[in-house]
Amino acid sequence: MNRSISNFLRNIRNITAVRVAVFSTVTLTFGVTANAQCGSSFSAMAAAADSVRNQSQISKSISNASASASDNSVNTSIVGLWHIRFLVGDQQIQEAYQIWNVGGTEVHNPNVDPRQGNVCLGAWREAAPQTFKLTHRVWLYDTNGNFQGVGHLTETVSLGDRGNTHSGTFTLDIYDLSGTFLVQAAAGTVVGERISPN
């Protein structure tokens, strides 16, 4: 690797580290740091999304990347096990396994440190043929274990590739103790691939 590319990459890493540190400090100051249960996943998503936004200077408006459901879909149900990826721009900020259950409940297992909790629960409904809306609610605590508010993760996804993939949008919003909106911590696209038994 030539010297100018090496220096450029080192500068990018340093800038990213500073931005993540600043975002973490701001998050602590406003008391929305999550330390228990699924909340650590939300904090990781928010920090990663902020880093990507700052690196690439992407617009705040996220285009709707929701794929139309394929006309030749074989599996028109979202029910099943999925490997999903959350993206801001073209940067992955988190991945997870997700189970969409019959009856409208969902279990989400993000790739974060399990010692702080990495199982989230949600509810879903069919919004249109082969298009589904999902919502999570997560309690948020500060580093001392004090309740700080609630995180809302929402997704709208549509099936594609004969029901074997889905894509759409997500938002991560933070609310205070009284239910008042505080900040949109992340927004982008979500894509998934169905995991089938062999």
Q: What does the pLDDT read at residue 138?
A: 87
Q: How would you write the pLDDT of the chain (198 residues) with one tens digit per residue?
A: 455 444 444 544 444 443 433 334 334 333 334 444 565 656 666 666 666 555 544 333 333 333 343 344 378 999 999 999 999 999 999 999 999 999 999 999 999 888 777 788 999 999 999 999 999 988 888 888 888 899 999 999 999 999 999 999 999 999 998 999 999 999 999 999 999 987
Q: Which amino acid is at 93?
A: I
**If you search the block for the tokens 């074989």, which residue do you land on?**
74
Q: From the CB of residue 125, how many other CB atoms can be counted at a distance below 10 Å?
A: 9
Task: Enumerate the domain spans of the chain.
Answer: 1-198
**115/159 Cα distance (integer angstroms):** 33
Q: What is the pLDDT of residue 150?
A: 92
Between 1.10.10.10, 3.90.1150.10, 2.60.40.1120, 2.40.128.120, what CATH number should domain 1-198 receive?
2.40.128.120
Query: For residues 36 and 174, what is the distance between their CA atoms, to the nearest angstrom?
Result: 15
Residues 65, 167: Cα–Cα separation, whole Å: 7
